[in-house]
């Protein structure tokens, strides 16, 4: 198993699946990359039914 993990750019919210955390976002070059955790959380990002993110920090 490769054990892919999902990471989301905190600037442009681009989600990528990598084995290791990317150094920088491939889209905008930001280094603020957060790992997505929890089952199904990543699929929500990929799903076309734009579910809004909860407001809060950020
Ligand atoms: Zn980005």
pLDDT higher at 54 or 3: 3
C-alpha distances out from residue 55 to 29, 37, 52, Å: 24, 18, 9
Distance 2 CA to ligand 1 centre (A): 24
CA dihedral 11, 33, 45, 53 (to 10 degrees): -60
State the distance from the centre of ligand 1 to the C-alpha of 3, rounded, in angstroms: 23
CA of 19 to the centre of ligand 1 (A): 18
Domains of the chain, residue spans: 5-46
- Cα 42 to chain centroid, rounded: 7
Q: Say whether pTM exceeds 0.75.
A: no
Q: What's the pLDDT tens digit per position in 28-57?
A: 999 999 999 866 555 566 655 545 566 555
């Amino acid at each position: 198993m490769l054990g892919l993990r999902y990471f989301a750019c905190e600037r442009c919210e681009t989600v990528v699946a990598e084995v290791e955390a990317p150094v920088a976002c491939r889209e905008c070059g930001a280094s603020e990359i957060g790992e997505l955790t929890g089952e199904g959380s990543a699929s929500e990002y990929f799903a076309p039914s734009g579910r809004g993110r909860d407001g809060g920090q950020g």
